[in-house]
Amino acid sequence: MISAASGKYGDLTISSKGPIARASVGPEHKGHPFFSGGLFTPRDSYAMHVIEDPSEVKFKTWSPFESRKHFMYQLELIKNNVFYIGNHFVNMSPFFTYALIIGTLALFPVAFFLNRLSSEKKFLYLWFITTFSIYCSGFLLITARSPRRFYAPMILFLFLAFHFVDELIAAFKRITPERRVKLLTAYLLLMVVPAFALKPGIHFVNSIKSIIASDQVNPYEEIAEQINTVPFPSPYAIIRSSQKPHTDVYIAYYLRKQLLGRPLAGDIEGITQELKEAQVRSLLVFDNLELSERLKKDDRYVLLADKKFSRDSRYMNARNIQIDQIEKWDKEINVFQLK
C-alpha cells in the first residue's frame, strides 16, 4: 500500500489523511474547505468528487504555537476529544454498558492484590496500556469522531475483561473450597455474559423493530434517479441550500457523474466565471426560483429540464436524517448546460 501511494504521489507517502485531517479542524477551517463552497477539480478524471482524494486541495495549516489563541484552541480540542473517546466507549459502543465498564475496572485491584504479578502479566498489561494510549493519542490532537474508529481497542477491552474474570477465579481457588469456587464461577458467568450480551442484544432488537416499523428508503438515490432522466454533461456544479454541502456527495454517488461542488458567488456573473474557470459543463439549481429565472434569460445557459420532486413523507424517517440534521427536502431542480 505504501509503495502504491508513493508511486502515485511521487514521493514517500504513508498516508495523505493526517495533514488534511489536522488542517480541517483548525480554528479557521472548521471542516473541509470543499464543503464550505467553491469548485474543486478531482485529481483523477474518474473520481466523482474531490473528497475521494483531497491531497491536492490547499489547506490552511496551523500550529498551536503560533499564538496563545491557537494554543488554547488546541487544549480545548484535546479536552473535547478525551470526553468524546470516553463517551464512545460507553454510550456509543455496541459492546459496553456502564455496569460492564465499572465492573471490569473494579476487578483490576482484585487481580493485582490476590495474584502474583508475573513477567508475562506485566508485559500483557503494559502492552494493553501502551496500545490503547498510542492508538487514542492519534485522535486527541485532531478529531475523534465515529465509533467504528475505536472498535479495535474496544475488542481488546473485551478480552481484558474476561482475563480479569479468570484471574479472580484463580485467586479464589487458593483461598476457598472447591465447591465455593464453582459457585463463584457460575455466579460470575451469570453476571458477565449477560453484561456482554445486553448492549448488542438491545441494538439488535431495536434494529429489528426499526426494519418492521419503517419503510426502508434511500432519499438520495430516489432523487438521483429522477435527475438521471435528464441527460446532462459532466462535470457539473450544484446550487443547493436546503441541506448541508456534504449531502451533495450522496446524490453525486448515484448520479455517477463528476461533481465539482457549489460555486461561492451569488450573482450570475460570478457563478459563470467560476464555472468557466473550472471547466464545468452543467449546473444543477435546487429550490432557487429567482436564480433559475435569471439563468433562463441568460444566453450563456441552456435549460435542459425543470423537475419537481415528489414530496415523500418517508424521507423524514430515513437513516442518517438526525446525523445530517435534515429539516426539509429538495422540492424542485432546474438543470442548465453552460454553452
Query: What local confidence, expressed as pLDDT, does residue 337 receive?
Result: 92
Please say if the pLDDT value at position 284 is more than 90.
yes
Query: What local confidence, expressed as pLDDT, does residue 187 receive?
Result: 66
**Which grid cell sits at 267?**
450573482
Query: What local confidence, expressed as pLDDT, does residue 21 receive?
Result: 74
Identify the residue with better confidence: 127 or 215. 127
Integer Cα distance of 246 and 252 in angstroms? 10
Band (pLDDT 50/70/90 cuts) for residue 301 is very high
Integer Cα distance of 254 and 309 in angstroms? 16
Cell 435534515: give the residue.
326
| Predicted TM-score of the model (pTM) | 0.68
Q: Are 234 and 281 in contact (CB under 8 A)?
A: yes
Q: Are 63 and 70 in contact (CB under 8 A)?
A: yes
CA atoms lying within 13 Å on the CB side of residue 148: 0
Evaluate the CA torsion angle 269, 273, 275, 281 in order and state its sign: positive
What's 56's DSSP letter?
G
Please say if the pLDDT value at position 68 is more than 70.
yes
Identify the residue with better confidence: 296 or 96. 296
Contacts (Cβ under 8 Å, ≥6 apart) of 329: 219, 223, 242, 243, 309, 311, 312, 315, 316
Cell 435542459: give the residue.
304
pLDDT in tens, 152-176: 787 787 777 777 777 777 777 766 6
Across the chain, mean pLDDT equals 78
- Residue 24: enclosing H or E segment and its boundaries? helix 17-24
3-state secondary structure of 247: helix
**At 78, phi and psi to the nearest 5?**
-65, -45
**Which grid cell sits at 177?**
473450597
**At 279, phi and psi to the nearest 5?**
60, 40
pLDDT in tens, 307-338: 887 766 666 666 556 555 566 677 888 999 99
**Which grid cell sits at 76?**
480545548
* % of the chain with per-residue pLDDT over 70: 70
What average pLDDT does range 173-194 have in this prediction?
A: 66
pLDDT in tens, 268-278: 899 999 999 99
236-239 β-sheet, strand order:
236-239, 282-286, 332-338, 301-308
Taking Cα atoms as reference points, which of 257, 252, 260, 259 lies closest to residue 221?
A: 252
Query: What local confidence, expressed as pLDDT, does residue 273 receive?
Result: 92
Q: Are 259 and 250 in contact (CB under 8 A)?
A: no
Amino acid at 216: Q
Q: Are 220 and 286 in contact (CB under 8 A)?
A: no
Q: Are 136 and 85 in contact (CB under 8 A)?
A: yes
Integer Cα distance of 136 and 157 in angstroms? 13
Tell me which of 3.30.70, 1.20.950, 1.10.600, 3.40.190 is the CATH number of domain 219-338: 3.40.190
Band (pLDDT 50/70/90 cuts) for residue 111 is low
Query: What local confidence, expressed as pLDDT, does residue 221 receive?
Result: 84
**Which grid cell sits at 96?**
459496553
Query: What residue ranges do the domains of the chain occupy?
Result: 68-213, 219-338
Query: What local confidence, expressed as pLDDT, does residue 321 receive?
Result: 60
Amino acid at 19: P
* % of the chain with per-residue pLDDT over 90: 9
Integer Cα distance of 298 and 291 in angstroms? 11
What average pLDDT does range 25-40 have in this prediction?
A: 75
pLDDT in tens, 225-248: 889 888 999 899 998 877 777 788
Beta bridge partners of 333: 286, 307
What average pLDDT does range 42-59 have in this prediction?
A: 80
Taking residue 174's Cβ as centre, other Cβ atoms within 10 Å add up to 9
Contacts (Cβ under 8 Å, ≥6 apart) of 207: none
